[in-house]
Structure 1
Amino acid sequence: METSEEKSKVINLKKNSSEFLGFSIKVVKKGKTRFGYVTKSNMSRKAKGNASNKIKEAIKAVQKKPSAKTVWNFNTIVMGIQNYYSAATRITINLNELNSYLRKTLYNRLKKLRKDANFQDMTKTLQKRYKGYKSQLYKIQTMVFVPIYAQRHKTSLCFSQVTCNYTTEGREKIHKSLKAINKTVLSSIMRSFIPNWTIEYNDNRISKFIAQYGKCAISGVELGINDWHCHHMNPYHLSKDDTYSNLVILHEAVHRLVHLKDNEKIKALLKGLNLSNKQKEKLNKLRIQCLNKAI
């Protein structure tokens, strides 16, 4: 395999840092660790610059058209940066520097548009994500700005290097994990592309179906070609969020229960589904996220 001279190098990480995929990585001495050294990683200088520019553009968009939609766009950019760089050991310090740099831009451009907000004004999902952070919050209409600095370091999970598409052993391991899924239904989903939805949505609904082994997230029932639905946990008309984490695969009847408001129809569907108390709790969480009352 050919390697790029610009992007490849051999380096002593104890003496110099190395940049890789937006991270600046160096090894530092720490006496009580197993080998006496640990990795210290930051957002690279270029990554900080790119992140700053993206957030600035999002702030300008809010100033130009102050609405819940543009604030949500700001939030998705900030959360995307937080998620990607959470593997850096000094991510909180890096984001604090970014927050300090952007504070004036936020204040000057939005001071006449934004209002003070409370933690309770956030959606349930955002409250869960930012629980424990104490910062001054602001909102436009009903949408709260997420705090830029609020991200702790997350240890990256290990993965099996054996699992891959390029060896007999690797393919066998992948196929074993897919044995529980109805291949006919999966094949149908993979062939059907919904043109009015984004590529991200079309890809992520397949990934979510596989991750749930082709079963409804609430009832646990195995899904068929015509009775599976893909649901946005945070309503799409508010969030415009097609990410994997915002999708869930449901049985068609369960999906109707999430959105229904007519009590008689709800009772009729519940009678047919015969859900347990634990399943009803999961259902009610989805209903509340869709701004419906719990059953």
Structure 2
Amino acid sequence: MTVLTNRLNTETGSMLKREGGTITQAEKERFGQSKMIRYVSGIDQMIYPIAFIKNKIPMAKRSIVCSYTKEGRAPIHTELNLNQYVLKGLREKISVGHSTEYHDSKISLFSAQKGKCAISGEEFADAEHVAVWLKVPRALGGFERYKNMVLIHKKYLILLQELPQAVIKDLIKTLNITKKMLVKINSLREQANLSAII
């Protein structure tokens, strides 16, 4: 405080004053208890008391994880715990007529869904079983973007098409669809502008 006071002293008096400018709610919460609050006269800018300035070390961040080094990326990839056989199959299986973003999003979704079907939650055993479903189809103005895509097992694709209710009921019994799965299927059907399964 002495250094600041000495440097801000002028012939007419100190440039620091005890009362002055407005204090925001955040400043009041952090520094309101301090008796060392001073304001720069003329601009009424608050000078924060050093004793009341606190910082926290981020506890959840591990120092070994780093996106820029090979050693730092290793823990990220080991914790993904994905079926490498299926992941390799998805990388190598290029569908003609789709964009690069589509293929990148497909691999990202596989990682985000932890290698599991969005409807049943079962792990994909083979890349051939993986089907990409556009929540909003192209016909309704949907795009092949990450936010509009979901990975499901191929056997559930037939339930996401417009079929008579009797046929759908038989398929539900054949595929052993639970109520929880039916809620997810109906959600995807509604986004695709299809009637819900009753």
Aligning the two structures, in what range does the TM-score lie when normalised by the shorter sequence? 0.5 to 0.7
1:198 is aligned to 2:192: no
**Is the Cα contact below 8 Å between 1:233 and 1:289 reproduced in 2?**
yes
Match of 1:231, SS state, is strand
Verify: 1:289 aligned to 2:191, yes or no.
yes
Aligned pair partner of 1:222 in 109, 123, 129 = 123
Asked if the contact 2:134–2:142 (Cα under 8 Å) also holds between the matched residues in 1, the reply is no
RMSD of Structure 2 on Structure 1 (CA)? 2.5
Larger radius of gyration: 2
Partner of 2:144: 242
Q: Is the contact made by 1:261 and 1:292 (CA closer than 8 Å) also made in structure 2? A: no
Once the 2 structures are TM-superposed, how far is the Cα of residue 30 of structure 1 from its aligned partner? 4.1
Counterpart Cα distance in 2 of 1:187 and 1:165: 24
Unaligned runs of 5+ in 1: 1-28, 37-157
Q: Which residue of 2 aligns with 1:186?
A: 87
SS of the residue 2:128 aligns to: coil
Alpha-carbon displacement from aligned partner over 1:196-229 (angstroms, at most 9, x marks no partner): 0111111111101111011110101111222110
| Residue 32 (structure 1) aligns with | 26
CA contact (8 A) 1:163 1:171 kept: yes
Deviation at 1:237?
Answer: 2.1
Using structure 2 for the length normalisation, give the TM-score: 0.64
CA distance in 2, matches of 1:242, 1:278: 27
Structure 2 stretches of 5 or more lacking a match? Answer: 1-22, 32-59
CA deviations on 1:78-111 (whole Å, 9 max, x unpaired) are: xxxxxxxxxxxxxxxxxxxxxxxxxxxxxxxxxx
What amino acid maps onto 2:91 in structure 1? Answer: M
TM-score using structure 1 length: 0.44
Indicate if the aligned counterparts of 1:208 and 1:248 stay in contact, CA closer than 8 A. yes
Distance in 1, matches of 2:188 and 2:168, equals 15
Does residue 279 in structure 1 map to residue 178 in structure 2?
Answer: no
Structure 2 vs 1, CA of residues 175 and 277 (structure 1 numbering), >3 Å: closer, same or farther? same
By how many angstroms is 1:159 displaced?
Answer: 8.1
* Alpha-carbon offset, residue 160 of structure 1: 7.1
Aligned residue runs from structure 1 range 54-69, under 5 A: none
Q: Give 1:98-113 correspondences, 5 Å limit.
A: none
Map 1:103-252; keep pairs closer than 5 Å.
Answer: 162-164=65-67, 166-168=69-71, 170-179=72-81, 181-223=82-124, 224-252=126-154
Give % identity: 32
Write the distance in 2 (CA, Å) between the matches of 1:178 and 1:261.
Answer: 38
Post-superposition, which runs of at least 4 consecutive aligned residues in structure 1 deviate over 4 A? Answer: 33-36, 158-161
Q: Distance in 2 between matches of 1:199 and 1:212?
A: 20
